[in-house]
Structure 1
Amino acid sequence: MIIPRIQKQCGHADFGWLQAQYTFSFGHYFDPDFTHYGALRVLNRETIAPKAACQAKTYPNINIINFILQRDAEFHDSEGNRIHQSENECLLLSPIPHISYSEHNVSHEKPLIQLQLWINAYVEYFCHPPQKRKLANLANNDALTLLASPNGSENNLKIRQQIWISHIYLKTEQSMTLSLKGKNSYLYSITGIVKLANNNHKIAYIHCSDNAFLMQEQKVKLTAQTDFRGILICLN
């Protein structure tokens, strides 16, 4: 089953220094039908004003995955550590209990645009040091790049959950068939328009900032209507 959800159906916030779109219930936004999707608890698209920073806070037992779409960012923790993250980088952070973290836009002139995921972590797994990698090599036209997996093999990030996260990059009219892991999957459009079709010929379209829940699907065909970048999350 393919269930699209357009960005207008999501939660939104505008605090001046921060503009955000919430796929799931977060902060002041609550939708009882969208509190999580399996282990996926949060997916926020955020624009942070120049020189602005999110208030320092502690986190529950989660994996934080941060995708920088434009500009550079830094995470600061209460022990004085700093983690720099550049544009087109993916950062996996395992927050340590009792340590607070804040996020900063290091640019004094331009807004930071990022996509942030919170994913439940297995409690018996220890916290990994921060891990980083490039989202994808767009110059090589890599259509599918595995970013994170439970094993952390093949230069992808090791995540404390049975989940696989990939970056998709398709040129206009380019198609690919995805073989999906686990029972359910989720597709988010970073930019562009893509057509989805399953084996039952169910068709849906998602645009920039839209998403689609892929439930009990083993394969889905994607066809880019424009140049398309997306994030695919496969959940066990």
Structure 2
Amino acid sequence: MTLHLRPAAARGHAEHGWLSSRHSFSFADYFDPDHMGFRALRVINEDWIAPETGFGTHPHRDMEILTYVIAGAVEHKDSTGGQGLTRRGEIQVMTAGTGIRHSEMNPLADQTLHLLQIWILPEAPRLTPGYRQAVFDDDSKRDRLRLIASRDGHDGSLVIHQDAAILAGILSPGQSLSHPLATGRGAWVQVVAGALTVNGQVLSAGDGAAIENEAAVVLASENGAEIVLFDLA
């Protein structure tokens, strides 16, 4: 069994006044050659965005970009005409492909936006840009791992252009879950809230862990936890 812990306190850190961000992997001005991503997972940023501020219009290309809202709401607009308001319990996915320009703003005057920004390397370059979002409320994730994004969009998940499955779960106190891993695949677990054990290793909010050479990812929590799990080729 191989499990590599990425403690929350060891992450990269950026403060911009309107934005406080923690980087699990190298990003922007934060560079760590030992943390450049895990398999096709390239970025996990935990962001806190002040009211009525956000990321103005900027470009991306050749990346699958997911936004997982923890609290508040994010307003999305992009150059393909895609737009939407994504709240807690909703997920948005953007294929940057051949090139896209977008903005991600906190439209609320009285609440900080808290989210995970996730980048997945696509399986092919120069894909057609696009945007989609869907609802995955807390009840649908309670004491189960709910598929929220996948290559083929099964079970109502959002399509991403990579051999990856992204699942989210909310464990009630005293509950446990297990996710099987096919031979050769690896998993990344990111703790959104609470604390739990992952294959016997204790993780708390903000921690991540890479898991390889295991038949399953086993999750258990005494007091409750919320996680996002990446099953990667």
Residue 72 of structure 1 pairs with residue 69 of structure 2: no
| Number of the residue aligned with 1:116 | 117
Q: Given the two structures, how large is their TM-score scaled by the length of structure 2?
A: 0.92
**Secondary structure at 1:33 match in 2:** coil
Residue-by-residue CA offset, 1:185-227 (whole Å, 9 max, x unaligned): 1000000111122xxxxx2110001011101222132110221
**Secondary structure at 1:225 match in 2:** coil
User: Residues 221, 103 of structure 1: CA spacing in aligned structure 2 closer, same or farther, 3 A cutoff?
Assistant: same
- What is the distance in 2 between the residues matched to 1:43 and 1:166? 15
CA contact (8 A) 1:136 1:142 kept: no
* Residue 139 (structure 1) shift: 7.1
Structure 1 vs Structure 2 CA RMSD:
1.9
- What is the distance in 2 between the residues matched to 1:60 and 1:226? 41
Select which of 220, 223, 227 maps to 1:223.
220
Residue-by-residue CA offset, 1:85-125 (whole Å, 9 max, x unaligned): 12221111112534311110010121101101000112267
Residue-by-residue CA offset, 1:133-156 (whole Å, 9 max, x unaligned): 223442773421011111111211
Mean CA deviation greater in 219-228 or 173-182: 173-182
* Residue 11 (structure 1) shift: 0.4
Residue-by-residue CA offset, 1:45-64 (whole Å, 9 max, x unaligned): 00000010213221120111
CA contact (8 A) 1:125 1:160 kept: no
Report the AA paired with residue 207 of structure 1: S
Residue-by-residue CA offset, 1:71-96 (whole Å, 9 max, x unaligned): 11111224665322122211111125
Instruction: Report the number of matched residues.
Output: 231
Segments ≥4 residues shifted beyond 6 Å: none
Report the AA paired with residue 208 of structure 1: A
Residue 138 of structure 1 pairs with residue 139 of structure 2: yes
Select which of 197, 203, 206 maps to 1:206.
203
Q: Given the two structures, how large is their TM-score scaled by the length of structure 1?
A: 0.91
User: Residues 124, 5 of structure 1: CA spacing in aligned structure 2 closer, same or farther, 3 A cutoff?
Assistant: closer
Residue-by-residue CA offset, 1:146-169 (whole Å, 9 max, x unaligned): 111111112111110000000011
| Number of the residue aligned with 1:186 | 188
Structure 2: 5+ residue stretches without partners: none
User: Residues 99, 72 of structure 1: CA spacing in aligned structure 2 closer, same or farther, 3 A cutoff?
Assistant: same
| Number of the residue aligned with 2:45 | 44
Report the AA paired with residue 191 of structure 2: S
CA contact (8 A) 1:44 1:115 kept: yes
Report the AA paired with residue 221 of structure 1: V
CA contact (8 A) 1:58 1:97 kept: no
Report the AA paired with residue 187 of structure 1: V
Structure 1: 5+ residue stretches without partners: 198-202
- What is the distance in 2 between the residues matched to 1:177 and 1:81? 36
Report the AA paired with residue 235 of structure 1: L
- What is the distance in 2 between the residues matched to 1:100 and 1:153? 28
